[in-house]
Structures are given as structure tokens and as C-alpha cells.
Amino acid sequence: MDFLVPLLAQLTNGLIIGFIYALMALGLTLIFGVLKVINFAHGEFYMLGAYISYIASRMLGLHPIIGIIAAVAVVFIIGMLMEKALLTPIYEDKVERKDEYALLITFGLSIFLMNGALVVFGPYQKSPEPLASGVLDLGVLSVSSGRIYAVVLAIIFMAATLFIINKTWLGTALRALSQDRDASTIMGINAKTLGSIAFGLGAAMAGAAGALLAPVFLVFPIMGVVPAIKSFVIIILGSMGSIKGAIYGSLLLGIVESLGVFFLSPSYRDGYSFLLLIIILLVKPKGLFGGSQWNN
């Protein structure tokens, strides 16, 4: 029974990471649901969030919590502006192949931001002020308190987002927009503005995830690549556009990774997502949560 405690520790870790993946994947789902666009720059919003929290906490000397809030706010604004600048032609019928355009332009944005960060901050790994130091003793296992804080904040952010989506005018309009764009316009909803807000919110969630994980995984220009790919896998896993799917898919991936680390090999942690993706594509390509609608 000796292996149980380390296994439990791994699973706890997997769940913690899973919740933070969920934050990021939820952002991607929000963007996809409303705009029908996959944001290939999602990882770079994660990276921006991490750098902003680093700047706030290390360079400006602010409290780490303020750093995280600043990251969310700034990335929200950047996301909104990027959507306005780059994605609006899709809805003005100015682009011939919309999917292709959206794919390539968000990918271009990703390359630009990634290499821009390289120019501005250099390739070195940086570490923002952690939320807390030390470990939390939970009887048989102990978890670093920094991670506990991170996961608690992630859950708060997610709960706030779900509240907005399910209970507010804005959220109802976003869900309406994801289901029928023309019908939303007939209601007097400004689809363009709401689209920008949705993109900003989605980006801000990636930014939040980046800021939360920055002390754990350090900050560097290409830090967003792997988390972004994991959220891509998650949204396929959880059926594209499904909020429930994004959350459960994230937790599932967190657990699969920790099991893989425990039973197979720790160095392949980031590879298990791809294995999972292949299995899903072979067995249930539409994902585990059926339709593409926003079932909340």
C-alpha cells in the first residue's frame, strides 16, 4: 500500500493543474462559442498574463494578488482590441474563407506576441512573487500553499465567469449570440461589440491562468505553447463549444497526466494529452459531451 500516498499526491496535483487548465480551456470555449473562431494566440495571452503579473509584483512591487488582477484586466483590454482590429472583417463579409482567415491571423498574432516578448524581455526565465510560500500539510499528503492559492483563485475566476454567463444580461446575450447571430441582432444586441467582449473575456481567462501558474512554472516567451495545446486538446475532448465539456475535459486531462507521470514516465507529462487526443479522435471524434451547443 506504500504507493497509495504518492499516487494520491500525484492525483491531487493533477486535479490542481486540471482546474487551471479548465480556466484556460473555458476561455477558449467562450471565444469559440460566441465567435466560432479558434484562438491560436490563446497561449500568448497566457504568457502576457504571466509577464504582467511579473512586472506588477517584481518591478512595481505590488502585492501578487494585485498583479493577478492587473493581468486579468490588461489582457482583457488587449484581447478586446485584438478582436476589433483583426477579427471584425469576418463579420462584415470582407473575407472569403473565414475559418482559414481566423486560423491564420490568430496564429500570426501568436508568432508576433511570442517573438515580441522575446525581443522585449529576452529568453530568460523569470519568476514573479509567489502568492504564498511553504507547504500545506493535509495529513497524509502535503501540497505547496502557492498551488492551493492558485487553484482557489482559479475556481473563483471560473465561478465568476459561469455566473456572468448564466445569470446576467451580458451572459444571456452571449449565449444567444453563440446560438443564432442574426436572431441576436434582431433583439437589438450589438453582435460586434459583444464579440469583442467575449474575446476579451476569453483572453483574460488565459491571462489569469498564466498569472496564477507563473510562480510555479516560471515566465518566458514560449511558456504559452504547451498550455495552449492542452486547451486545444481539451476542447476537442469536451466537444467544441461546450462549457461543461471544457471543465470536465480539463479535470480529466489533469488526472490522466498525473496517472501517466505516476505509472509511465514523468518526463512525458506534456505528451499524454496528445495520446488522449488520438484516442478521442479514433473513438469519439465529436468529443465526450455531444453537441456543439452551449450546454451550461
Partner 1 sequence: MEQLEKRILAVLLVVALFLPLFVDDYALHIVILACFFIMMASSWNLLAGYSGQVSFAHMALASSGAYTSGLISVHLGIHPVLSILVGAVVAGLVGLFLGVLTLRMKDSYLALTTIAFAEIFRLVISLEYKVTNGKVGLSVPGLFGDITSKLPYYYTAIGLVVLMVFFGIYRLVYSNFGLTVRSIREDEIAASAMGVKVVRHKIIVFTISSAMAGVAGGFLAHYNQLVSPEMTTITQMGMVISMAVIGGLGTFIGPIIGGLSLEIIAEYVKEFGNYHLMIFGLILILVLRFSPQGIAGLITKFHNRKKKKVSTSASTEKEVQK
Partner 2 sequence: MLEVKNVDAGYGKINILNDLSLKARENNLTLLIGPNGAGKSTLLKAIFGFVKTSKGSIEYNGKDISSLPSHQLVDHGISFLLQRVSVFPELTINENLKLGAWAFKKDKQKVTQQLEAMYDKFDVLKQKRNEKAGLMSGGQKRTLEIARMLMSNPKMLLIDEPSAGLSPKIAKEVYQILHGLKDDGITLLMVDQNIRDSIGYSDYVYVLEQGSVSSESKASEVEANLKEVVQSWLKF
Q: Which residue ranges make up the site for partner 2 (CB under 8 A)? A: 169, 172-173, 175-176, 179-180, 182-191, 293-295
Write down the least CB distance from residue 169 to partner 2, Å. Answer: 5
**246-275 positions binding partner 1, by CB under 8 A:** 267-268, 270-271, 273-274
- Rg (alpha carbons) of the chain, rounded to whole number: 19
Of 5 and 279, the one with the shorter C-beta distance to partner 1 is 279
Of 137 and 180, the one with the shorter C-beta distance to partner 2 is 180
Write down the least CB distance from residue 203 to partner 1, Å. Answer: 16
Q: E strands within the chain?
A: 135-138, 141-144
Question: Contact between 4 and partner 1 (CB under 8 A)?
Answer: no
3-state secondary structure of 94: coil
Contact 157, 205 (CB under 8 A): yes
Of 89 and 171, the one with the shorter C-beta distance to partner 1 is 89
**50-89 positions binding partner 1, by CB under 8 A:** 85-86, 89
How far is residue 108's CA from residue 86's CA, in Å, rounded to a whole number? 10
Part of the chain binding partner 1 (CB under 8 A), chosen from 64-72, 151-159, 221-229, 250-258: 221-229
Question: Contact between 206 and partner 1 (CB under 8 A)?
Answer: no
From partner 2, partner 1, none, which one binds at residue 172 (CB under 5 to 8 Å depending on kind)? partner 2
**99-158 positions binding partner 1, by CB under 8 A:** 99-101, 103-105, 107-116, 118-119
Q: Look up residue 264 and give its DSSP letter.
A: T
Q: What's the length of the chain?
A: 296
How far is residue 160's CA from residue 158's CA, in Å, rounded to a whole number? 5
Q: State the number of CA atoms in the 13 A half-sphere of 203 facing the CB.
A: 31
Sign of CA dihedral 170, 172, 175, 181: negative
Q: State the number of CA atoms in the 13 A half-sphere of 188 facing the CB.
A: 1
From partner 1, partner 2, none, which one binds at residue 78 (CB under 5 to 8 Å depending on kind)? none
Question: Contact between 217 and partner 1 (CB under 8 A)?
Answer: no
Crossing angle for the helix pair 191-217 and 42-54, nearest 10 degrees?
A: 60
3-state secondary structure of 60: coil
From partner 1, partner 2, none, which one binds at residue 273 (CB under 5 to 8 Å depending on kind)? partner 1
| Among candidate residues 233, 271, 281, the one with its CA nearest the CA of residue 29 | 233
Question: Contact between 279 and partner 1 (CB under 8 A)?
Answer: no
Alpha-carbon dihedral 126, 131, 135, 141, rounded to 10 degrees = -100
Of 6 and 108, the one with the shorter C-beta distance to partner 1 is 108
Can you give the binding site for partner 1, defined by CB under 8 A? 38, 40, 85-86, 89, 95-97, 99-101, 103-105, 107-116, 118-119, 222, 225-226, 229, 232-233, 235-236, 240, 267-268, 270-271, 273-274, 277-278, 281-282, 285
